Structure 1
Amino acid sequence: MAKRRTKTRTHKKVSEEELAKIPRSMVIRLGSSIRNHSLTQLVKDFRNVMQPHTAVNLRERKTNKLKDFIVMAGPLGVSDLFIFNQSEETGNISLRIGKMPRGPTLQFKINTYSLMKDVRLILKHPKSVGRDSIEMRNPPLLVLNGFLSKMNELEHHEKLMITVFQNMFPPIQPQSTNVGGIKRVLMLNKDPVTGNIELRHYAINTKLVEETRNIKKLINSHHNPKKNIPNLSKNKDISELVLDPYSVGGVTSDSEVEDDAIVEIKNEENNILKKKNATAPTEDDPMGEQAEEETNTAPSTKKRAIKLTELGPRINMTLVKIEEGLLGSSKTIYHANIEKSDKDIKALEKRHQELQKIKSERRTKQQENVKAKLAKKEAKKARREARKNGEVVEDDKDDESSSESDDDKPEIKPEDYENDSDLYSDVEN
């Protein structure tokens, strides 16, 4: 496929700071024992939903572990991890959303789901959208329905869930965001009775309302190069095309549009007076203000009908638990099925503090050992350099006996001791 052309004079370049603020995601699937082709396709469909700031061509291997993706997420600037997994015992499918780099992690149970190809089958007029289409160039508009509008009335876990959902996509700036660039909608609808969350994905279609059918064809052919210009060979004047409804293909009734779907859009034009069009000062207009008044135009309004076409996939899920850390054996903040008393919560807090204390003590001890070994090695190197220069150094015999064994040992680096994931092999998780 040819490379997309980038404008050099009018294209606005994004700074590195703005690029760093854009949320980037990675959608993966773990578990190689169960061959579920439908779940594999669901992962691919969900990557289309998260476009364009996601790894679309990511390929998982059987040997890949979750730790591998977490390690690679940092250099790539990934802020969200979406992990689909199917249990070997029960066969239930779960979705975990982890915020990089320190959490939290939200775990959902997927009750039902439908793929994009299944959604196309049930629609009368489906819309085929590929991963390279124009709709996928910008992130979708996130719509939360069914969640309480007042944040003070929400519980702590619901506030956290809403915050995670809102930070999946870049925030919309009303002053600078191009409304015409928003081509998709991602709706998350919460059922107030059951608490299930329904995920739907739509494409936004706009349609002119006030113009006639022939004018619409001219406008569409101007904006879309793939549209053909109407055949005007039988017309003698442009008025026949505009006024005569039978000039191009006869009268065909367009689909009726509901009044609620019609909105007015203001088209503000840049009122810039060019120097070459400015008139010279005269007696009636000494400052040349008359030319400026003629060039200024008032903003015009157009009516357009908005229609949503579902793209898929559909996912019905339920929040199970929220963990404090990132995709690991960390403290559980919320659990939908298990309720603990205050005594149990205090015991878990005490146990968690003890584990953190043990972890910090072992880390400091490791750092001290590394520093001592590096200092000892540097001292040995200094003594060897002194002997080469002919200086008298103490403990020559000990250095000569241990020189051969020290050369065979690998070089110790502080980076080798940064990963302490195996420190808790003898501690219960």
Structure 2
Amino acid sequence: MAKRRTKTRTHKKVSEEELAKIPRSMVLRLGSSLRNHSLTQLVKDFRNVMQPHTAINLRERKANKLKDFIVMAGPLGVSDLFIFNQKESSGNVSLRIGKMPRGPTLSFRVNSYSLAKDVRRILKHPKSVGKDSAEMLAPPLLVLNGFQVDSDKNHEKLLVTVLQNMFPPIQPQSTKVSEIKRVLMITKNPENDEIEWRHYAINTKLVEGNRNVKKLINSHHNLKKSLPNLSRTNDVSELLLDPYAVGGVTSDSEVEDDAIVEIKNETPLSKKEEKKPVDGEDGENANGTPTRKRAIKLTEIGPRLNLSLLKIEENLTGSSKTLYHAKVTKTSKEEKELARKHAAAQKLKAERRAKQKANVDAKNRKKDERKARRKAAKNGEEGAEGAESDNSDVEMSSSDEDAPDIKPEDYENDSDLYSDIEE
């Protein structure tokens, strides 16, 4: 197989330090959610939202537990865990967002959700975006709306911090506008505290020149469109300046003026484009940089999620301290009592661990002592066997000197030899 070519001029190599700072995620489904096909498809759509820094082809098994993924998340550099689960008794779907390696964990109740295929069905002009599309090569632009960070609600500040750290931060000086092709909009309703997740694809279109002139040009090239009636106009300027002179009311496909923005050119202009005025008489903006007007349109690609925050826990496991609960409120006295109990439990846990460590160390010392004794005994036996073998050699040599000199010629056969020995 041929080696894949790597570009060196246009592709910038990312250092290991920068790669370590990029947030990575794993989207899981555990428990009875494995049998819910609709929830399984929701997990796949949610993985597309978290692309490209996520495990898109992750496969779970019924035997897998949360601890298995927590153990594997460390070597893989995973910073966020999104866990979907469905209770067998009530059928309610929940979502937990955990920060690695020590928490916190945010628990949400999924009030309702819509899959990406359901969103495409209700759109007049849908946009099909798969996991291998060009829009998935860069993380989405995160937009938070309705969150009160300046308030005294500490849990909301923590929620905003966790949501902001799901994706790598955007640097205005180095980030190219053309690379941002998706938007993840998270909106909080202040009346009922419900959180809406919406996922959009960004479509841009060059807008240069007058819209009425464009309509005239399109009517000239398209024979099905009739030319505008010029009998009611006194001057050609009325046709160009009046927005309702051609076409009347604008359609849904037309771009509104509010959606037009000026974007700096990121690619070098050709000689013709440099001579052509872009913005104003000189073709430059106030900063002297060539710009172009583009119309921005958002197309929803799904999925949709309606969430409600239930509680915030300190660690990833369910037995940790609860920092916030939406339905249970505690007084200051009850909070102090819970803090005391939690501290006592932590102290007892630390004592048990210390005791277990001491027991393990004692067993290891006994094991080492037994090994040392066995080794010493083995060395002593080998020394004794060596001394006995030396004594036997000395005895054999002395017995050989004292033995009579018997020659084979003295006996005709072996039977004579044995007979002499018996006598």
Using structure 1 for the length normalisation, give the TM-score.
Answer: 0.73
- C-alpha distance in 2 between matches for 1:341 and 1:392: 76
Q: Helix, strand or coil: the match of 1:203?
A: strand
Q: Helix, strand or coil: the match of 1:390?
A: helix
- C-alpha distance in 1 between matches for 2:161 and 2:31: 29
1:190 is matched with which residue: 178, 183, 188?
Answer: 188
- C-alpha distance in 2 between matches for 1:180 and 1:321: 38
Q: Normalized per residue, which structure has more helix? A: 2
Retained in 2: the 8 A contact 1:203–1:311? Answer: yes
Aligned-pair CA distance for 1:72: 1.1
Q: Choose 1 or 2 for highest CA Rg.
A: 2
Q: Helix, strand or coil: the match of 1:90?
A: coil
Q: Helix, strand or coil: the match of 1:152?
A: coil
Cα RMSD between the aligned structures? Answer: 2.8
Retained in 1: the 8 A contact 2:33–2:86? Answer: no
Deviations 1:260-303 (A, max 9, x none): 110111226779xxxxxxxxxxxxxxxxxxxxxxxxxx631110
**Residues 350 and 306 (structure 1 numbering): CA distance in 2 closer, same or farther, change over 3 Å?**
same
**Which residues in structure 2 correspond to 1:318-329 (within 5 Å)?**
318-329=308-319
Aligned residues: 336
- The answer as to 2:100 corresponding to 1:97 is no
Match of 1:289 in 2: none
Aligned-pair CA distance for 1:380: 2.8
Match of 2:200 in 1: 202
One-letter identity of the residue aligned with 1:133: S
Q: Helix, strand or coil: the match of 1:153?
A: coil
Aligned-pair CA distance for 1:246: 7.7
Match of 1:310 in 2: 300
Aligned-pair CA distance for 1:10: 3.0
- C-alpha distance in 2 between matches for 1:245 and 1:318: 49
- C-alpha distance in 2 between matches for 1:94 and 1:379: 54
- C-alpha distance in 1 between matches for 2:22 and 2:134: 20
- The answer as to 2:352 corresponding to 1:362 is yes
- C-alpha distance in 2 between matches for 1:171 and 1:118: 31
Unpaired segments ≥5 residues, structure 1: 217-242, 272-297, 394-429
Match of 1:131 in 2: 131
Match of 1:343 in 2: 333
Q: Helix, strand or coil: the match of 2:185?
A: strand
One-letter identity of the residue aligned with 1:362: R
Deviations 1:109-134 (A, max 9, x none): 11111100000011000000000000
**Residues 377 and 85 (structure 1 numbering): CA distance in 2 closer, same or farther, change over 3 Å?**
same
- The answer as to 2:98 corresponding to 1:107 is no
Retained in 1: the 8 A contact 2:33–2:39? Answer: no
Retained in 2: the 8 A contact 1:268–1:300? Answer: no
Aligned-pair CA distance for 1:354: 1.1
- The answer as to 2:27 corresponding to 1:27 is yes
**Residues 107 and 381 (structure 1 numbering): CA distance in 2 closer, same or farther, change over 3 Å?**
same
Match of 1:37 in 2: 37
One-letter identity of the residue aligned with 2:259: A
Deviations 1:32-65 (A, max 9, x none): 3773211111111101100011111111111111
Using structure 2 for the length normalisation, give the TM-score.
Answer: 0.74
- C-alpha distance in 2 between matches for 1:29 and 1:111: 17
Unpaired segments ≥5 residues, structure 2: 226-246, 270-287, 384-423
- C-alpha distance in 2 between matches for 1:251 and 1:186: 40
- C-alpha distance in 1 between matches for 2:267 and 2:98: 44
